[in-house]
Amino acid sequence: MKLKDFAAQIGLSPTTVSRALSGYPEVSDKTRKRVEAEAARLGYHPDVNAVRLATGRAGAIGVAMTRAGDYQFSEFINGMAERLSGGELDILLIPMGEHETVDELQVFRRLAQSRRVDAVVIHSPVPDDPRIALLDRLKIPFIVHGRSLTTVPHAWLDIDNEAVTRRATDHLLDLGHRRICLINGPDNYTFARDRDHGYRTALQARRIAYDETLVHHGTFSDETGFRFASTALSKQARPTAFVAGSMMTALGIYRAARSLGLAVGSDISVVAHDDVFPYLTAETMTPALSTTRSSIRAAGREIADLLLQMLDGRKPSDIAELWPVDLILRDSSRPAPKEPTP
Amino acid sequence: MKLKDFAAQIGLSPTTVSRALSGYPEVSDKTRKRVEAEAARLGYHPDVNAVRLATGRAGAIGVAMTRAGDYQFSEFINGMAERLSGGELDILLIPMGEHETVDELQVFRRLAQSRRVDAVVIHSPVPDDPRIALLDRLKIPFIVHGRSLTTVPHAWLDIDNEAVTRRATDHLLDLGHRRICLINGPDNYTFARDRDHGYRTALQARRIAYDETLVHHGTFSDETGFRFASTALSKQARPTAFVAGSMMTALGIYRAARSLGLAVGSDISVVAHDDVFPYLTAETMTPALSTTRSSIRAAGREIADLLLQMLDGRKPSDIAELWPVDLILRDSSRPAPKEPTP
DNA sequence: TTGAAAGCGTTACCAC
DNA sequence: GTGGTAACGCTTTCAA
């Protein structure tokens, strides 16, 4: 049923019906109530495509889905959905190929030009992210989940990645560890650089030399953790502690330790960053994993909220949220072994 | 720039331009080439909302996102995206709350009535899934990822879940195991029932009595695996093998075994189902995990393809794909210990 | 092979 | 407070 028919059936003009259903103030309360009741009874629903054409709004926000997202993605989206549910905004997935190809930018260009979305969220920026410059130029509202160093003013929300590794490293140093490995994300991303920085800062504060052989960059997979930890732990002067960028790499480190007959929590210590997942929890690992923690689901919720504010007129350049992280001490981080291994 | 302006600029009518860009046969090759070149040069792109209103097509396919999806979701979507990329179909996320609430059905109703999507894919059906009946009634094309027992004819693609557990159990029986635990998904889902069935079938073929205390249903999390395996392995007559429904539960089982000082691959055997993820791989676990394997990414790709065919006129009732699974033997499944534990 | 004009189902401006 | 009507930007008959 279309507006015209529906309006005719209840003896009102399309204009009035449209206004009543869209909550315009000038329609009388009595009329509005009646229209709403009749719409429910007769099952009238506006055609979104017509609404979109008439209003110029797309009614959707696009989420760029980089390969890097992987297992965090679902939690983030669920967070956004919590905030968006019931509203008139859909979530449109924008699958991307490999990062930073020309193709990737084309995707955004087409997206903007075809007016498919009202706003966009992008993840895992690199320090000088071309997507940011492009979206700014295209004048399509966007928010960055993560940070970039671009000079283009833009909205962003990020966790304090520098603190993630600084606090974890500090904690391990407090426990007497001196050879501490860092298994970070791919080093082109800003977040990975921030984490490198936090790690270095903690070491410097104690006048401990930075040793590049203790640091690794790679994707967040158990394999990355296993490979690097295995190699590192087989060395002559083996590390006594690890800072892991993700739960998956932490799994790999645990595994490497076990396969070498080393006990996590005594022979070696581990602290990982945890985005909080329902299917893999730090506190039930054996031993319970010490983590820096920040809910990626909550980030999704907040980003959706900020996006709503932006569409409501809030200035993007006013939006910059840096979320602190919790440091949760459990059993995987313990005092360094008294005797440095020979 | 709009069609009218663009057409005027290159000295053609909107009609011809529209036809040229949409690949209609009646426009001359020369004209088409010219129009395409000019469109690229001047940056003309049709407004999708106008196209959608005029054609009645939504240009998007909806993917219902149940909480059950979680970490598999991203891989599935990426598979769909591979097939859909470049095309004119977007992926619209349909976040759902808890399963089987009235609310859930409302979501689909609104979706259909507002003409937001051309087709829908739903996951993890229950045996008599109300969503299927509803979508059929609403006449919105859909495909089910998984199976239902409803009498409503519909398109579906599923892996052979009965074979998943039957083959895994069979394999363990061949190795001499007799007390084999099954850690399955939540028992309201069809796939979990099919897996129950496969497990029972394998046991029956060897005249081994079904013991309900060896079977558990729960969400796919490491905690589920850990909890149940810990309890089971602490019993007097402890099980010697486990069939796990997911990689996450397998992690939990490994962990439980270790915490009790039992070695996977000798004291106990484990076979799990693996959807194939880039961030957690069976062959690099310690010991390498034997799995039944089927790529959920490939399923996403195929489902997108089938959807395309349906929108092209293929009858949904003709679409029914049952995918076999591979059984990959690695080191976690080995002959049962000679001496049944006392 | 090309073009004119009538939709597609809303919203929003301007009268009443 | 309510109604008529011109957009919104495209597709698609129908005519030429």
Strand order in the sheet with B215-217: B215-217, B180-184, B241-244, B269-274, B290-293, B326-328
Question: pLDDT tens digit string along A43-53?
Answer: 999 999 999 99
Contacts of A140 (CB under 8 A, 6+ apart): A108, A111, A112, A117, A119, A120
pLDDT at B99: 52
Check pLDDT > 70 for residue B48: yes
Check pLDDT > 60 for residue A179: yes
Average pLDDT over residues B66-95: 85
Question: pLDDT tens digit string along B82-118?
Answer: 999 877 789 999 877 655 555 778 888 888 888 899 9
What's the one-letter identity of residue A4?
K
Check pLDDT > 70 for residue A286: yes
Judge: A113–B81 Cβ closer than 8 Å, yes or no.
no
Which residue, among B87, B98, B20, has the nearest Cα to B60 in the 3D structure? B87
Q: Which nucleotides of C are covered by protein (CB under 7 A)?
A: 1-5, 7-13
Check pLDDT > 70 for residue A101: no
**B127, B130, B132, B135: CA torsion to nearest 10:** 180
CA A37 to C1' D1 (Å) is 19
> Which residues from B are below 8 Å from A92, CB to CB?
60, 90-93
Question: pLDDT tens digit string along A186-198?
Answer: 999 999 999 999 9
Average pLDDT over residues A221-232: 96
E-state strands within B140-208: 142-145, 155-159, 180-184
CA A13 to C1' C16 (Å) is 14
Average pLDDT over residues B277-285: 93
Judge: B48–A114 Cβ closer than 8 Å, yes or no.
yes
Q: No. of H helices and E strands in chain A?
A: 12, 12
CA distance A289 to A225: 15
CA geometry: angle B75, B291, B285, nearest 5 deg: 85
Walk me through the domains of chain B, giving residue ranges and CATH numbers: 13-53 (no CATH), 55-160+298-324 (3.40.50.2300), 161-295 (3.40.50.2300)
pLDDT at B101: 57
CA B48 to C1' C6 (Å) is 21
